[in-house]
Amino acid sequence: MSQLRVLLISFGLFLLFLITNGATSASAQSNPRFIPLGNGAIGALYVPDSGPAPHVAFLVTHRNSSYVTHTSTTQLSSRGFMVLGMNVRFANNEAQVDWPDIALDVRAGVRFLRSQPGITKVILIGPSGGGPVMSFYQAVAENGPSYCQGPNKIVECSSTRLAGFVPTDKADGIVYLDGHPGVSVNTLRSLNAAVMNEDQPFKAINPTLDPFNVKNGFNPTGDSVYSQAFQDKYFQAQSARMNALIDTALAIKQKMAAGKYQPADEDAFIFYRNSARLSDFSLGVHRGTLNPAKLLKNDGTIVTQIVNSVRISDPSNREADQLMGSGNGAGVKDLTITSFLTANAIRSTHSLDGIDWCSSNDSTICAIRQIHIPVLVMSMGAHYFIRDGEIVFENGAMADKDFVVVEGATHGGTGCTPCSAVTGVDYSNARKNIYNYVAAWTNARF
């Protein structure tokens, strides 16, 4: 496919997103401008409608979701910042992801923002899967391709492909908005550990590991309660299943390299029963922080305490885990060998506490150990990445780092209404509080 055709298709998708995702209000507020960034990556540039010209610009993107209209674009531009909402080349196509290439798209966005008149600082925003994206980018920008190489890596990156980074490619800060520890980790923790045979994932099930068996603690109508013994056994079995999938994919790659496998360059890599994350069903799994942390309350005040999630358990994933469709919420991972190994695979012995963080390059925890710019980690109080956010914060190598949990915020940043019905607490200011905090944190440093 020609570059021109890729650009035209990307522009068409961009326009479709503007039409279907509230373009009228966004355009009226901040007049986004279409920005072609090369290799199929596109952006939408938002600037304040009034006030002084910004000197700080934010860049927000994700591995494969469209972020040209991400909430941060209008929220932060209305607070006086320039924002580039960006789609990388793999938007809406997870099966085509080749993880290291994402860094090249982010670099194009950073360079574009640095070229804008008056911009002196560029800050990366990593919501959800944008967390590992921005972490990987900055680790490479600060340390070079050697960061993503080494004998412990499942797949090493190429020095040639990641050549050409210069000092100004480094960002000046990172904001994590419920950024998770890695697609690789999410895939690991979503594997149904009861699967005994990948060729018969719906029949060969170990009943003692079945997360949807009421005898193991599953509650089909509410919050499940799994014993610690079951959890540990389940998490170890998830690791064993993931390690076996990795070995299978690597063996196929070796056969390809030896000319003993067809097709010789790439192949589909599909596995089932991948919607069985225990924290979806049980508040007792990844409940919250282990140590006292800042809690940004609905009234804008901050208290320091152990923070537990107020999320509502969702047992409906029992059905999703058996669906044949792919995508969010379904139990099928429809990938390629490359997209699995570079973005969805990680070694471990225990999926919660025994992860080899640096075996994968899609790993926020590994990357943040090599990052030295100021970092703000914000976890959403109505989701299950609170402890993960705390781990990101704890592993950060930078001297300037902050961690805060937003009371009652969903993964997308809105206040959790069903949670309020249970707790009796109002969370309606969650989104405003998130971006007020981000703005204050930014203005205090830059």
> Kind and range of the H or E element at 233?
helix 228-257
Amino acid at 251: A
Residue 350 CA to residue 429 CA, distance in Å, equals 37
Local structure of 144: helix, strand or coil = coil
pLDDT of 322 reads 83
**Per-residue pLDDT averaged across 362-369, rounded?**
98
Question: Mind listing the pLDDT tens digit for each residue in 98-155?
Answer: 999 999 999 999 999 999 999 999 999 999 999 999 999 999 999 999 999 999 999 9
Residue 97 CA to residue 341 CA, distance in Å, equals 10
Question: Domain 3-180+365-445, what fold?
Answer: Rossmann fold (3.40.50)
**Per-residue pLDDT averaged across 155-173, rounded?**
97
If DSSP states are collapsed to H, E and C, what string results for 61-108? CCCCCCCCCCHHHHHHHCCCCEEEEEECCCCCCHHHCCCHHHHHHHHH
**Per-residue pLDDT averaged across 83-94, rounded?**
94
Question: Mind listing the pLDDT tens digit for each residue in 236-271?
Answer: 999 999 999 999 999 999 999 999 999 999 999 999
**pLDDT over 70 (residue 3):** no
pLDDT band, very low/low/confident/very high, at 30 (cuts 50, 70, 90): low
C-alpha angle 8/41/12, rounded to 5°? 30
pLDDT band, very low/low/confident/very high, at 18 (cuts 50, 70, 90): very low
The residues, ordered by sequence, that sit 6+ positions from 12 with a Cβ below 8 Å of its Cβ are none
pLDDT of 328 reads 53
Q: Where are the domains of the chain?
A: 3-180+365-445, 185-286+313-359
With a pLDDT cut of 70, the percent of the chain lying above it is 92
- Structure token pair of residue 409: 């915020």
Beta strand ranges found along 276-410 (DSSP E): 293-296, 302-305, 333-336, 348-350, 354-355, 375-380, 401-406
Q: What is the pTM assigned to this prediction?
A: 0.92
Instruction: Judge whether 125 and 59 are in contact, CB under 8 Å.
Output: yes
Question: Mind listing the pLDDT tens digit for each residue in 381-427?
Answer: 999 999 999 999 999 999 999 999 999 999 999 999 999 999 999 99
**pLDDT over 90 (residue 299):** yes
Instruction: Judge whether 123 and 96 are in contact, CB under 8 Å.
Output: no
pLDDT band, very low/low/confident/very high, at 31 (cuts 50, 70, 90): confident
Omega prior to 263 cis, within 30 of 0: yes
Average model confidence (pLDDT) across the chain: 92
pLDDT band, very low/low/confident/very high, at 204 (cuts 50, 70, 90): confident
Q: Are strands 333-336 and 268-271 parallel, antiparallel or unpaired?
A: antiparallel
